[in-house]
Amino acid sequence: MTKAKKPHLDVYAATDPGLTGKINEDRFLITSFKPEPMGKSQSTLMVLCDGVGGHRAGDVAAEMGVSLITQKILGGDARQPIQAIETAVVETNDAIYQASTAEKDRRGMGTTLALAWVIETRLYTANLGDTRIYLWRKDYLVQLTTDHTWVQEALDAGLISEKTTNAHHANAHVIRRYLGSKKQPQPDFRLWFFDKEKDTDALKNQGLRLKPGDILLLCSDGLTDLVADEEIQGVLEATPIESAPEKLIEMANQRAGHDNITVICAEVSGKQVGLQKKKGFRRFTIGCLSFLVFLSLLATGIFFGLRWRNQNLGLEDTPQPEITFTLPGVSTTRAETRMSTVTQSPTSTQEIQTPRPSLTPWPTNTP
């Protein structure tokens, strides 16, 4: 795959360690490239990892996560994005686990994962842990991913209520899936968008077509623990996208900033969506207009060319012969006449005109 000069989305990101003095264990990587088997298609890959393990080298796991995932997807087949993502996740998990067993200080290290891959206008996602992906579209914010935490599983099972699902719950940060585990994790390809979907329906949403003005937001739990979804939506609606990541981080830090905070915002530009189709339509229109102009010029040239020829050869002043057709019992005369000017005096003329034929509009093929 070939690296692109710039993303085909408008992407802005920021990260902050928070206010507790912790090292920043969040890592993110944004890569734009052109998948070689897919011609001129453009794609942007966004990977966000939040290291877990603290002193157990969570930052190392997160760094390995973003770099290896990106590297392996770049080496995969973009025509099979789900398979490419799954292979990258499995191989990266094994690499992090092996690294964690090689050194004592790294034992138990791991990382969450949020991955958004946009190929042209199609969205493909995968996640592990509580790092989230949101989509904002026309005043509506939806969480596309599902948290893999003890709290979320208890909520889905009906063991606890939504009132108790907050950052202060004793098991709020107990992660159930992550990169670096001995047992290979299953990447979650459920992509929630419409209400009241079943698990099987969410799987079908992979490849969701994005629209101009859509904003993807990837963030670590340092944001979502302290800033509600409604507040995130308010920032996206009222703040220019280039300022949104910093604004959201500032809000989290104003509320104690107890964890690392990372935010990635990617907006689908109207100029980029369907660019190839728009170029093709524009070229088609210009081609049609150019062809019509050519025909018009050609017809004009033929008209004046014939007129010049007739004038120079004296054909307009030459009497036309009378042609007689004789059939049994019938005598028919056809006189071929041209439009001519008969001079009566040096100052007056009399035109003998034949009726002009009615004009038929030029057929058009409007797209």
Q: State whether 126 and 256 are in the same domain.
A: yes
Assess whether pLDDT exceeds 90 at residue 268. yes
Q: Note whether residue 333 is domain-resident.
A: no
Residues 297 and 186 in one domain: no
* Mean pLDDT of all residues in 276-303: 65
CA distance 35 to 42: 7
Tens digits of residue pLDDT in 71-96: 999 999 999 999 999 999 999 999 99
**Shared-domain flag, residues 175 and 143:** yes
Say if residue 133's pLDDT is above 90. Answer: yes
Mean pLDDT of the chain: 81
Using the predicted structure, report yes or no on whether residue 234 has a pLDDT greater than 50.
Answer: yes
Distance between CA atoms of residues 227 and 136, nearest Å:
16
Q: Which amino acid is residue 131, in one-letter code?
A: T
212 and 303 fall within a common domain: no
Q: What CA–CA distances, in Å, run from 122 to 66, 207, 210, 215, 312?
A: 21, 5, 6, 13, 67
Round the CA-based radius of gyration of the chain to a whole number and report it.
36
Q: Are residues 137 and 235 both part of a single domain?
A: yes
**What pLDDT is stored for residue 151 in this prediction?**
86
Q: What single string gives the DSSP state of each residue in 15-68?
A: EE--SS-----EEEEEEEEE-GGGTT--EEEEEEEEEESGGGTHHHHHHHHHHH
The structure tokens listed for 105 are 């200080």
Q: Is the pLDDT of residue 329 over 90?
A: no
Most confident of 171-180, 206-215, 290-299: 206-215
Q: Is residue 363 assigned to a domain? A: no
Pair (246, 260) in one structural domain: yes
**pLDDT exceeds cutoff 60 at 281:** no
Q: Residue 155 maps to which CATH number?
A: 3.60.40.10
Residue 204 domain-assigned (yes or no): yes
Q: pLDDT grade, residue 195 (50/70/90)?
A: low
Q: What is the mean pLDDT of residues 248-272?
A: 92
Least confident of 208-212, 271-275, 337-341: 337-341
CB atoms under 10 Å from CB of 92, counted, come to 27
pLDDT class of 314 with cuts at 50, 70, 90:
low
Q: Assess whether 17 and 109 both reside in one domain.
A: yes
Residues 305 and 171 both lie in one domain = no
How many structural domains does the chain have? 2
Question: Residues 261, 286: one domain?
Answer: no
User: Which among 258, 239, 229, 252 is positioned nearest to 143, based on CA atoms?
Assistant: 229
Q: How many CB atoms lie within 10 A of CB 197?
A: 15
Q: Is residue 135 part of a domain?
A: yes
Measured distance CA(81)–CA(60) in Å, rounded: 26
Separation of CA 197 from chain center = 24
Report the C-alpha gap between 129 and 109 in whole angstroms. Answer: 14
Is residue 45 predicted with pLDDT exceeding 90? yes
Cα 300 to chain center, whole Å? 47
- Tokens standing for residue 317: 């002043």
What per-residue confidence (pLDDT) applies to 56? Answer: 78
CA–CA separation, 51 vs 231, rounded Å? 25
Which residue is it, tokens 């507040």? 231
Residue 159 has pLDDT above 80, yes or no: yes
Residue 214 CB partners (closer than 8 Å, separation 6+) = 135, 136, 137, 267, 268
Do the domain assignments include residue 339?
no
In a domain, 340, yes or no: no
Report the C-alpha gap between 50 and 130 in whole angstroms: 9
Alpha helices in 132-186 (DSSP H): 150-156
With H, G, I as helix, E, B as strand and everything else as coil, classify residue 206.
coil
Is 322 part of any domain?
no
Whole-structure pTM value:
0.73
End-of-domain residue from the set 220, 250, 273: 273
Percent of the chain predicted with pLDDT > 90: 56
pLDDT: which is higher, 10 or 154: 10
Measure the CA–CA gap between 272 and 7, rounded to whole angstroms. 10
For residue 106 the two structure tokens come to 């790294």
Per-position b or e across 37-62, b if 16+ CB within 10 A of its CB: eeeebbbbbbbbbbbbbeebbbbbbb
Question: Is 360 among the domain residues?
Answer: no
If you write DSSP's letter for every residue of 249-262 in order, what string do you get?
HHHHHHTT--S-EE
Instruction: Indicate whether 311 pLDDT > 80.
Output: no
> Average of pLDDT values for 301-329?
56
- 84 and 127, same structural domain? yes
Residue span of the structural domain in which 105 resides: 2-273
Beta-bridge mates of residue 44 = 32, 118
What is the reported pLDDT for 346?
42
Mean pLDDT for 51-61 is: 85
Fill in the amino acid letter for 311. Q
* 47-68 mean pLDDT: 92
Same domain as 301, residue 177: no
301 and 233 share a domain? no
Reduce the DSSP state of residue 132 to 3 states and report it.
strand
